[in-house]
Amino acid sequence: NAGVTQTPKFQVLKTGQSMTLQCAQDMNHNSMYWYRQDPGMGLRLIYYSASEGTTDKGEVPNGYNVSRLNKREFSLRLESAAPSQTSVYFCASSPEGGAEAFFGQGTRLTVV
């Protein structure tokens, strides 16, 4: 079973460039999430989607936009990348609130 799939796995961007991180889950989960993980820190929630058609800001939403394209897919867009957005990005999904979240393998993004 694929679970949560993220693409790409690695990416280098120049400051000011834009890109979209893709995430898809095949578990028919309602909720999806985007986190970022920086060295020495836990995972910080960027945006989440409780169900298809809804999105909400998390702890660190500035500089990002998201799209819940359908139940399976939840994308994260950086419109104008900054070095401060260098991080590892994780997508996750869960059946509903109050349930275990399953994580993808991460996207390592470097902005130079």
Closest distance to another protein from the beta carbon of 77 (Å): 20
Rg of the chain over Cα atoms, rounded to whole angstroms, equals 13
Closest distance to another protein from the beta carbon of 93 (Å): 11
**The token pair that represents 51 in the structure block:** 């169900």
Q: By CB under 8 A, name the binding residues for another protein.
A: 4, 31, 33, 35, 40-45, 48, 50, 56, 58-59, 90, 92, 94, 96-98, 100-106
Task: Give SS3 for 53.
Answer: coil
* C-beta neighbour count of 63 within 10 angstroms: 14
**The token pair that represents 19 in the structure block:** 């890109």
Closest distance to another protein from the beta carbon of 29 (Å): 11
Which residue number, 57 or 77, has a Cβ lying nearer to another protein?
57
